A and B are shown apart, each in its own frame.
Chain A
């Protein structure tokens, strides 16, 4: 949304530089995208295009002559396709600079070019790169572009999705004025001079009230189509719209002013002679077609809302008008349409037909029901003033919903507690008023007294009677509705809500009930309002005798009530008509009545409330929390005193799982591994190649590429790819990743997520070295978390060497290996409890035994054999495995270190020898051949 400052200043008196204004907008919650001003536009001047010719040697280039105020026009080669003779454009002269780009004399396909004509983007003013920036006709040739901008400063705002009101300059002006300056918007007034009635010319039928809750039509006759006055053309140009003629321009202008898109039809193109135009708002038929204003034939479907005349479509609702009813230079009479369409429907249609427009951008934010009424009046006013049209009498208005007026009762204390502020009640009132809210300190007694003397009418309601008449429960309901406390529409509902109060504890605002005159209409059901215009039905059997009447306690022994009956001599008597009204009676009138039921209270802080009425254009404000935001942003976020939450009574639980994960990450990095992140998306072939089953993997409905249509069930594919991408960087690459894997878990359920550690090693030293490294890493991890080999089931870890086919698939030229570890399972094995083992004060003795084994003999078997050979063996472990010369191909040399110690004495040499001999025998018994001479 472009906000031209000149336009803004017509409504708000502000003395701020564009930068200051942009800061102010930012601080009240409007997102400023760019400020169009104040760059160094040295050597950027205004030129007039004198001629445009095709470049003889290039299809896409033009040769132009541009008058920049020098003696001779400049020859400039330009690629834009919106050039025409007579337009004013920004020109960068040779030696000037835009977007950090120096302009020098250039030769483009054989022709000299002395400068550059710029687009908005090239000037760094915005995103528009669809051709050059066309300037206002009044721009003075040869003057500096900066001076031109000086009077055309514009701030570009990204309006939040919940603020349709800010899609109009009036709305933005209100925002800027709030809490700062006076706002004066144009007065909308006009005369209906034509004697014809609009309803005699056109009738409207809305078949889809959910998609079109309001559709309004007015007619302006005898318009004169001509170019718009200069001020109007300038205004449109300043918001980036192309002036066309006075009719089209008014339609656009009112949209930019109010935020309400309009559509103008050429009435005569819709009208069959002597007949009423019958407009119907309906869903399109399957494959129905409509030629829209842009000349495209749109193929429609029932999801798309259509404005039609008889059977024939005349506009895609809210998105684009039809070509056949378009306003042209011969148009005489105009049908003005202003409507509210369902935002979701508009958004979908615009997306489906690929038609983005200023109108769509507004409708899809959801317009309030009052908006078309305001905009249509403004439009006919301008049509009358500018085109000399005659406005017919009345508006045809199809409104299918009740226009809900949102009341709220804002507690000053609660708002201050919520914001952490000490804003005075009066200041809150002023802030809200400056935004167009009605706000005043709530005085229940005063509000009630305003209704004194109004006639009693049974079944009176706001919809039917406003505040012209009341019955008993409507009076109390009305008073409470002013602060959005919903006590129920009937006496029964009001008795059922609130909390019970005894006669002696009465306070102003309490409602008192007695049985009163019970007629047939008394039921056990009532409607409860949710405070935002919706109702639910509640039934109760708590009051089988019924509730007939109620009144509102005003304090000082007085009650106000709307009554039709009086109690005399133990009888209910209907009062004479003239005496059936809102009146004040003593409290005893209720409490001493034999039918007195009791009193109820609905709020205990009535004294602290501001009664707020939300203006029609702020449908985003529905709760007190929304008001809190209004107050905070206008009062100033910058004034909030930063504090920390007082949650001293809260003790956080330690997240063990997270601690473990961090500890592991840190360990792996400390011992030389580098952490990687990879995407979780894999292809079917990735899953198959790494030994998985496709049906286990969750499938992505909308993948970005075919190779990414599954979620991974193993980290191996991404790791192999990462190793491959880095295989030539270093001799040894050691990566690790800790990530989730996903497995289908049955229809309708979330997939099973497992967190795995994957270590990938590429070692140019060969697979055995890599394996040795991987196993060593696993051992190091286990040692860190005090997990022993016996504790670790083989099902939770895996070391796999990449097969030749995997290497080919992932482009690996060197051997690679993958270690994976199921972290959830591993975490369960962590030994958090360490208990002390006694340490001998006598010497510990190490003896190393080397033996040659068959290659197939596992380390585990070898250690098993020695284990338990003698109680003095404290520990035994393999410290070296060697394969290669001088041993045979299927042999290996294994060195085992045995540690011996006694708690009783220092071991003698012969004792040590005895045990090592025993071990030697054990080794021989499993086929080991002890190597002598060591």
Chain B
């Protein structure tokens, strides 16, 4: 099989990526997936002349390797989706961005909006017919202070037969704006891919940058990045547990968790000046070192916060009325989660043992990573419990990191980037695996930049989890995934 093998944040010369015929490409990719690989991404790149280059990356989680191959297509090619369901969303995106038809794709419709086609929100919505069927349309303007997205429920009474999700309202051309970089804006664009995953996307961008320059950060800088990432994970998870409680009207946990999220954000702000960690992580290191007094204080405060979180979350697990709402709601079975190729805590709650920190680690995670556990049921309860376990593991892991934060300079200059290279940078953000891919041109500038927020791969899982559910449980299911709209729309 014709693959170029690389790993997280290791650049490949673009010439080393094999370009094969479409049939061979299709056969190779499917063979690799049958052999236990996982479709990491499948994207289109501008090719030679009229052709579009399809590039597939397949992760071998057991070996920590990423296999890359490509092919040139024009107009149409036989779709991968019928044999590899996790390609379905990627192929829809390729079709809308490059006008190439994946032949045999079971359900080809735009991910955001097609080139020259109708605008956002105007799509050929799937609808169920029948005299007792009704459609409920929600959004893009919502009652709460959340991002815009359109949801269309085909319902029979209170039961949802199918949910259509239509996104794209937050499209702002991030990937296009990153082309031609890196420049002074690039880091800030990466940080704002999804505001709640600032540290995640900033780390992915910096790892990519440093990988292309073939520089490594000091152990100290890597440890501080891990602190930023894990604090972000804890803050978001505890906030979401509170929001889950709020959605079922369970006020005590909702109030306490909301406050505790604020505590963790404030800790982040004390370390770097921004509650979301903006501007902390930089190519070459980190903007601000932490003194040993501060580290000790951080450890103490985290241990306090951990105790408070345990008390607050115990209210959730101990309340039978809450468990009655969480259990068996929005079940995403293991097979469905595996087929859809979803990532992050949502995947682990469905029993998929997958975590970038362990499987495809970079930087500090190569040396050590938190305990990784998986759930089994795939319902709202499993996802909530998974979030809580990850908080606990992150707290324990942070305590270790704070005991031994390494040494070295926290900021180093980065020379120019490798020309004509392709690189994949993966980070386990709080929502799941973040992938940044860059292709550089002869001058070492980004010729192409592709960002995969975990939301991109998980949105469809939400639609899947809603099948047969009471429509009233949608907000609860939605919150248990808590996906990003802007991270999807880019």
Chain A bound to chain B = no
Q: Which residues of B contact A (CB under 8 A)?
A: none
Q: Which residues of A contact B (CB under 8 A)?
A: none
